[in-house]
Every structure is written in structure tokens, then in C-alpha cells.
Amino acid sequence: MSRTTALRVTVWNENRHERQNPRVREIYPEGIHSAIAGFLTEAGMAARTATLDEPEHGLTDDVLNGTDVLIWWGHLAHGEVRDDIVAKVQRRVLDGMGLIVLHSGHDSKIFRALMGTSCALKWREANEKERLWVVAPGHPIAAGIGESIELEREEMYGEHFDIPAPDELVFASWFEGGEVFRSGCAYERGSGKVFYFRPGHETYPTYWHPDVQRVIANAANWARPVDRERPVYGNARPLEAIGAKTGKGGEAE
């Protein structure tokens, strides 16, 4: 259970808003991905980035096989993500790689594929205050966080959020305009862990907020792959091989 090697995190970003919208570029001059990779590096992780317009979206086999936890931010161009790469990421998650999906990533192909639902929600852009309340006070993703996180201005996301009920609901959000939202949702899928975290509209400096950074770092640690052999599926050992004395066994008829 040594922790000597740093957690290998890949931060994936669509990286389109940053290039098209000066306001976003002002907040994240080197892109949302670099901002996130930056604070994770400071937290001692081995963080790198990958973006949509790189070859294979930056998610080659080498990159994915060397990634413990993948972080995903996308919005404008979900449809441009290649289906074969989505399938590859999904297999890696089931095989143990952690996945943290941020904000508008709720509508990404990879999140919808792993959830099995539409992942639709209500939204409104009106500079509203958001308060994320901790509802699972003993969860490691809430470490170091007070009873709520307050974001002065954010996009609103409201229920119903069409996701499977989270295995663990860590945060629930209040919005000024009258909505609530399950904003920190933890899942186990296959041998991997998935965490959806709501905040992070591109026109607000959300990822510079220390509590938001702390939650993402906590989630990356929580989502690290567990060190064990993967399950074996398919045709099981025949009865005689496992010592059962059933007097039946033999070939299926």
C-alpha cells in the first residue's frame, strides 16, 4: 500500500471556448485543462493534459494506459468526440481507471455511455449564487470542506437530473433562482470509479476557487484504481475442477 508514486492524472478539455471567447481566455489564459492540471500538480500529482483537436483527441492507448484518473471537461463539441475513443475510455474505466466528469461534461458521450440515461437537466445562465451543501460528511471527497461551498456566480443546473441514483451523493446544490441539484455524485462502475462534479461554467473563475480545487483533488485521490487482479469473465471452471461432489456435473445437455 505504498504511496510513493504520484497519481497519474490526465485532464481532458474540449478547449474550444478558450480559443473562441476572449472572456473565457481572460479567465483561463492557458485553458481550463491547464488550470486544473496546475493545481493538481501542486497537490503532488503527475498531471498532464489532452484536448479534442490533438490526434486521437490526445487519448492514445499509451496515454490511457498510463492514466490512473481521467478528468473530462466538454461542452460545445460533444458530437465531435470519436465513438471508438469513447468506447476505449469506457473500457478503461470498467477496468479500473477513475473518471471525473465536470460541469457540462454531463452531456458528453462518455458520461452518458457509463450512466445509461440521458443525463439531461435544466439550466439557466443568470449569474446566480450557488451553494453546494455537503450531504455525506464522512466521504473522503468532502475532506477539508466546510458545511458548504459558496460560488457567487455560476450557471444554474436544476433537477430533474436524469442520472442513475448516485451510489453516494456527496453534494447537493442550492441556486438563487429556486432550484436544487445533485451536484456531487459518486459511482462505482466495473472496477472503476466515476465522480460527477457540477461547477465550472467557462465564463466564471470557478476552477480558481480553493474549495473547488480541493474537491477535484480529493476526487482524484478517491478515484485511484484499486490494486488487484481484474475479474475473470466467461466460461467458468468445470465442476470437477473445483471439487464439488454433486453427482451431476458433466456436459450440459
Mark the segment that binds a second copy (CB under 8 A) among 49-57, 61-69, 70-78, 133-141. 133-141
Q: Which is nearer to a second copy, 14 or 179 (CB)?
A: 179
Mark the segment that binds a second copy (CB under 8 A) among 10-18, 54-62, 77-85, 181-189. 181-189
DSSP code per residue over 43-61 = TT-EEEEEETTSGGGG--H
The contact mask relative to a second copy for 192-221 (x = CB under 8 A, - = no) is xx---------x-----------------x
- Pairing relation of β-strands 8-13 and 69-73? parallel
Amino acid at 67: T
234 part of the interface to a second copy, by CB under 8 A: yes
Select from 153, 205, 209, 211 the one that contacts a second copy (CB under 8 A). 153
Q: Which is nearer to a second copy, 58 or 187 (CB)?
A: 187
In the complex, the smallest distance separating the C-beta of residue 169 from a second copy, rounded to whole angstroms, is 7
64 part of the interface to a second copy, by CB under 8 A: no
180 part of the interface to a second copy, by CB under 8 A: yes
Amino acid at 191: S
Q: Do residues 49 and 28 lie in contact, with contact meaning Cβ atoms separated by under 8 Å?
A: no
Query: Number of residues in contact with a second copy, rule: CB under 8 A?
Result: 97
- Determine whether 169 is exposed, middle or buried from the number of CB atoms within 10 Å of its CB (0-12, 13-18, 19+): middle
Task: Compute the distance between CA of residue 183 and CA of residue 186 in angstroms, rounded to an integer.
Answer: 10
In the complex, the smallest distance separating the C-beta of residue 96 from a second copy, rounded to whole angstroms, is 6
Q: What's the chain's Rg over C-alpha atoms?
A: 20
Select from 11, 40, 47, 145 the one that contacts a second copy (CB under 8 A). 145
Name 168's Cβ contacts closer than 8 Å, sequence gap at least 6.
136, 139, 185, 186
